[in-house]
Structure 1
Amino acid sequence: MESQVLVALALSLVGGLSTSLGALFVIINKAPNLNMLGLLQGFAAGLMLSISFLDLAHNALNSIGFLKGNLWFFAGVLFFALVVNFIPEPTVVPQSETDKNKKQHESEDEGSGKDMMKKHRRQVFFSGIITAVGISLHNFPEGMAVFLGSIKGLRVGLNLALAIALHNIPEGVAVALPVYFATNSKWQAFKLATLSGFAEPLGVVVVAYLFPSSLNPEILEGLLGSVGGVMAFLTLHEMLPLAFDYAGQKQAVKAVFVGMAFMSASLYFLEISLPEMTL
């Protein structure tokens, strides 16, 4: 069990630290390339859909039956729908909005608007903090999903960690962009984005010590089916709309199918390359 926790921690750290990559997009470039982020979201959505339907849900249906598998799957959908309802995930601020705000601040500077500008910067900084908290709360169940996948086998854990890592890069942008704009501090933007990603390994630690060391195989398959429901809802509710907004519908759909093909290939090659006991 300890080795499984360590593997899950390592995989969740990869996913969690991907928010740092998103922060780097912000602090290295003058403006994040939203088209590239959209394609990345579409690609990650394809990975998620393949994992959800062709791996997790498929295995649950085959292992515990059609009815039970569907009940577990939709329980996962309902769980994450409730999470999103109470904690809607923030999105990346469009660059045009940021530019408009900057011009407004410049005009305020020329007059007597310095106090207004300071107030607005505080508001933007506060929005960055709220964004970091919201994304942290979203990352927590993702860490739980990686742990449950790792219990099932290294292949499942690896695939989940890869898809979540790609999804977390735009999340890092969503945290870093308002913080950098408000504080003009690259370090503050990078630090807050990175800290928001650490909720993922925290989710691994919490669930590892809440769950018994040996789970009933039927319950494990059901939990993995519910993880598939969580991933499917996250993909269709949040990732695809962002991909459409940033990259355009046609390009985003192409990226989705490229992601699905990539994940299908990785599932095959991992299956034939990893020892059978770890799958």
Structure 2
Amino acid sequence: MVDFFQQFSPVGQAFIATLFTWAVTAAGAALVFFTKRVNQKLLDCMLGFAAGVMIAASFWSLLAPGIEMAEHLGQTPWLTAVIGFMGGGIFMRITDRLLPHLHPSLGMNKSEGIKTSWQRSTLLVLAITLHNIPEGLAVGVAFGAAAAGLPSATLGAAIALAIGIGIQNFPEGTAVSMPLRREGMSKGKSFFFGQASGIVEPIAGVLGALFVLKMQPVLPYALCFAAGAMIFVVVEELIPESQRKYEHIDIVTMATMTGFSVMMILDVALG
């Protein structure tokens, strides 16, 4: 797999990798062609698994390489990490406050961001799109970092991150398409809106790769920024969403730990 990616430029690598993550989002949305409803416990476990993947990816694929690169470039590692990490969280907080969106399990009266008359389907797509921005950015930054030639970032690690992000995108596509299908929307439209939530990832991936290739000194900050943005999504949305049903908490917690383990294995094995 590494040999396949080596024939492309870093931007091309990021684009191909994020096309994969988008495709997995579409695969999750495609469940509407087979059923109107997914077992709630299963969906909660899928979201918990996604949270575990993102937590592991934030450290193994982003924060740790960012700290090592900061030291290699003569920066103060802990300061770079804090500035980048908190910057990512603050960016997501501001975006969360401004962008109109609706989390799948909530009614229209619980929509967030600037008030608007947009339809429920649009708000649901925007909620998942908001979360996919840091994921695409993280993949793009990882491929840009691998191209920088620093020992703490490898092409294998970037590929591992893309695979992990792709795996956890499956339930996100389902989380958009299924509620729309249950509300009476056609299978085709439900699928369309579900997969549309992932379209931002190739865009963010390419922009992330271009940015770090042009401005290498900010690369450690960019890696930590992506980590902070992803942790914000996990804590603000994925974990609360997966544990709304109190009776599922234990199994969902184990699913989260499983997701963390899978991403850790991917990163260590491929990185």
Q: Under a length normalisation based on structure 1, what TM-score does the superposition of the two structures give?
A: 0.75
Q: What is the CA–CA distance in structure 2 between the aligned matches of 1:51 and 1:17, rounded to whole Å?
A: 19
Q: What is the CA distance between 1:255 and its match in structure 2? A: 1.3
Q: CA deviation at 1:8?
A: 0.9
Match of 1:68 in 2: 80
Residue 212 of structure 1 deviates from its aligned partner by 6.7
C-alpha displacement at 1:223, in angstroms? Answer: 0.7
- 1: CA distance, partners of 2:33 / 2:105: 15
Q: Deviations over 1:85-142 (max 9, x none)?
A: 2237533348xx9xxxxxxxxxxxxxxxxxxxxxxxxxxx921122123433432343
Counterpart among 2, 8, 17 of residue 14 in structure 2: 8
Matched to 2:160, the amino acid is N
Give, as a single letter, the amino acid of the residue that structure 1 aligns with 2:269.
F
> 1:8, 1:146 within 8 Å by CA — same for their partners in 2?
yes
Alignment of 1:78-93 (within 5 A): 78-87=90-99, 90-93=102-105
Instruction: Check if 1:155 corresponds to 2:156.
Output: yes
Equivalent position of 1:235 in the other structure: 234
Deviation at 1:59, TM superposition (A): 2.7
Residue aligned with 1:164, SS: helix
Post-superposition shift, 1:264?
2.0
The answer to whether the Cα contact below 8 Å between 2:133 and 2:200 also exists between their aligned partners in 1 is yes
In structure 1, the gaps of 5 or more residues are: 98-124, 272-279
Does structure 2 conserve the Cα–Cα contact (< 8 Å) formed by 1:19 and 1:168? yes
Shift of 1:60: 2.4
Structure-2 separation of matches of 1:259 and 1:62:
25
The one of 139, 143, 148 equivalent to 2:136 is: 143
CA distance in 1 between counterparts of 2:157 and 2:30 reads 28
Question: How far 1:207 sits from its partner (Å)?
Answer: 4.3
Alignment length, in residue pairs? Answer: 240
The aligned counterpart of 1:120 is none
Distance 1:77 1:212, change over 3 A: closer
**1:184, distance to aligned residue in structure 2 (A):** 4.2
SS of structure 1 residue aligned to 2:243: helix
SS in structure 2 opposite 1:80? helix
Q: Which has the larger radius of gyration?
A: 1
Where structure 2 has 5 or more consecutive residues not aligned to the other structure, the ranges are 1-6, 71-76, 108-117, 147-154
1:1-279 residue pairs with structure 2 within 5 A? 3-64=9-70, 65-87=77-99, 90-93=102-105, 126-153=119-146, 154-208=155-209, 211=211, 213-216=213-216, 218-245=217-244, 248-271=248-271
- 1:155 and 1:215, CA in 2 relative to 1: closer, same or farther beyond 3 A? farther
Deviation track 1:33-87 (CA, whole Å, cap 9, x = no partner) reads 2211211222221121112134422232333211222111111111112222223
- Aligned-partner SS, 2:119: helix
Q: Considering only aligned residues, what root-mean-square deviation do their CA atoms show, in Å?
A: 2.7
For normalisation by structure 2, the TM-score amounts to: 0.77
Q: Percent identity?
A: 28
Is the contact between residue 42 and residue 243 of structure 1 (CA under 8 Å) also seen in structure 2? yes
The answer to whether the 8 A contact 2:133-2:201 is kept is yes
